[in-house]
Amino acid sequence: MLRSATTWLLVGQRLGIAAITLVIVSFAVFFATELLPGDVAEILLGQSATPEAVAGLRTAMGLDEPAFTRFLSWLAGLAQGDLGMSYANNMAVADLLAGRLANTLRLAGIVTLVCVPLALTLGIAAAMWRGSLLDRAVSMLTISVISVPEFMVATLAVLIFAVWLDWLPALSYGVNVDSLGAMLRAYAMPVITLTFVVSAQMIRMTRAAVIETINTPYVEMALLKGASRRRMVLRHALPNALGPIANAVALSLSYLVGGVIIVETVFNYPGVAKLMVDAVATRDLPLIQSCAMIFCISYLLLITLADVIAMLSNPRLRR
């Protein structure tokens, strides 16, 4: 009973740290957007706007108030679910994000369903037959993919599948998805690119976690007692490597936060990242801040979830 109370106390402390981190991140996001060059009112009104019109618009949007006052007001609205009004579109930011967020979550969900089983299978297999041809091939492939930035992977995917082979459309925007085949064609290019980028790091981290567990004395003892390699890995090593593997999955999926920005821009996919890039061009500060907070919250949730899983699966982390 005492152990259970201690465990949940540690979990509560981790969640509290995540909440404090979120406040610090919101502070950084708000003031980072304040450092963007150019005056928002001048950009919205154009170069021909008079100083009086610019000053009037700044007052109407509250931009003449101190930055810290605007931060507190924005943070209070964020806590209540009020994301503010878009400067460029004169619409509620929540309404602008609703459809785009659904598209991004759909893309991230498909990538997760594809890359997690693939990466775990390859990582565990490479660890199980360490030093084999399979292990060397997987290691070479993952290192090659990690060494290439996301935009290069996306560009190569366009050249191979859209230009040379003419199998898939180069853009995902505007593709008719009234059938299963059309949906697969629309999502194939972004999913292929993100799967390559996300899976590579996950495979290496999973392989390292399983190998580290295999080298422990109790797993070696199981091998000496006659356990097969498959039983040794799946029955003895894998359950004890659950914590590190959960961290590997969470850290790898967090690359979706950065990778999806590149992929949505390259393939013109109508998601949150593409909306954020467009908002930067018009200095739409409330929209930029809301999009950035979505990515930060997603990253923080993944890392916190991985820490909680590792804490619950490893008794040594609960001391």
The DSSP result for 13-48, as a single string, is: HHHHHHHHHHHHHHHHHHHHHHTSSS-HHHHHH-TT
pLDDT tens digit sequence for 11-37: 788 888 888 888 888 888 888 887 776
Distances (CA, A) of 210 to 80, 105, 129, 241: 43, 30, 11, 6
Residue scoring higher pLDDT (291 or 259): 291
| Cα torsion angle, 106, 108, 112, 118, sign | positive
The Cα-based distances of 281 to 97, 99, 172, 273, 284 in angstroms read: 17, 20, 22, 13, 8
In sequence order, the 6+-apart residues with CB closer than 8 A to the CB of 52 are none
CA-based end-to-end distance of the chain? 14
Residue of higher predicted confidence among 275 and 179: 275
User: Are the C-beta atoms of residues 143 and 223 closer than 8 Å to each other?
Assistant: no
As a whole number of angstroms, the distance between CA 174 and CA 270 comes to: 9
Is the per-residue pLDDT at 99 higher than 70?
A: yes
Can you give the pLDDT at residue 259? 66
Q: What is the mean pLDDT of residues 34-51?
A: 70
Query: What's the pLDDT at 273?
Result: 80
Dist. CA 319–CA 307, nearest whole Å: 14
Q: 86 pLDDT exceeds 50?
A: yes
Is the pLDDT assigned to residue 1 strictly greater than 50?
Answer: no
Sign of CA dihedral 224, 230, 233, 235: negative
pLDDT value at 176 more than 60: no
Question: What CATH fold (topology level) applies to the domain 92-318?
Answer: MetI-like fold (1.10.3720)
Please state, in angstroms and rounded to a whole number, the distance separating the CA atoms of residues 37 and 27: 19
Q: Which residues of 123-151 are buried (b: 16+ CB within 10 A; e: fewer)?
A: bbbbbbeeeeeebeebeeebeebeeeebe
* Contacts with 311 (C-beta within 8 Å, 6 or more apart), sequence order: 7, 10, 11, 14, 243, 317, 318
Lowest mean pLDDT among 39-43, 192-196, 281-285, 294-298: 39-43
What does the pLDDT average to over 91-104?
A: 83
Q: Say whether pLDDT at 226 is over 70.
A: no
Instruction: Give CA angle at 281 (53, 288), nearest 5°.
Output: 95
Q: What is the pTM of this model?
A: 0.75
pLDDT of residue 2: 45
